[in-house]
Amino acid sequence: MSEDEIGRGTEAGDGVATEEVSAASAFELVAHETRVGVLDALREADGGPLSFGEIRTAVGVEDPGQCHYHVDRLVGRFVRKTEDGYVLSPAGWRLVGAIVSGGVTASLEPGSVPAAGSCSECGGSLRARLREGGVAIECVECGFVQADPDVPAGALAGWERSAIPAVVGRYVSLWEVAASHGFCPNCEGRVDRGVRRPGESASANRPAAPAWFEGEDADALVVTACRGCGFWWHAAVSIAALSDPAVVGFHHEHGIDLRERPWWTLDHLPLGECRVVDDPRRVHVRLALDDDVRTFTFDGDFELVDVERE
Positions in the binding site for Zn ion (CB under 5 A)? 119, 121-122, 124, 139, 141-142, 144, 184, 186-187, 189, 226, 228-229, 231
Sign of the torsion formed by the C-alpha atoms of 209, 185, 1 and 96: negative
CA distances from 228 to 80, 290, 306 (A): 27, 43, 31
Cβ proximity to Zn ion: between 233 and 250 the closer is: 233
Cβ proximity to Zn ion: between 141 and 273 the closer is: 141
Question: In terms of Cα–Cα distance, which of 123, 165, 160, 162 is closest to 148?
Answer: 165
Cβ proximity to Zn ion: between 74 and 137 the closer is: 137
Q: Which are the contacts of 292, defined by CB distance < 8 A and separation ≥ 6? A: 250, 253, 254, 309
- Answer left, alpha or beta for residue 156, where phi above 0 means left and psi between -120 and 50 means alpha: alpha
Q: What is the DSSP letter of 149?
A: -
Q: Which amino acid is at 310?
A: E
* 3-class state of residue 56 by DSSP: helix
Question: CB of residue 142 vs Zn ion: minimum separation in angstroms?
Answer: 3
Cβ proximity to Zn ion: between 34 and 125 the closer is: 125
Q: What angle do the packed helices 23-30 and 33-44 form, to 10 degrees?
A: 80
Cβ proximity to Zn ion: between 75 and 229 the closer is: 229
Question: CB of residue 182 vs Zn ion: minimum separation in angstroms?
Answer: 12
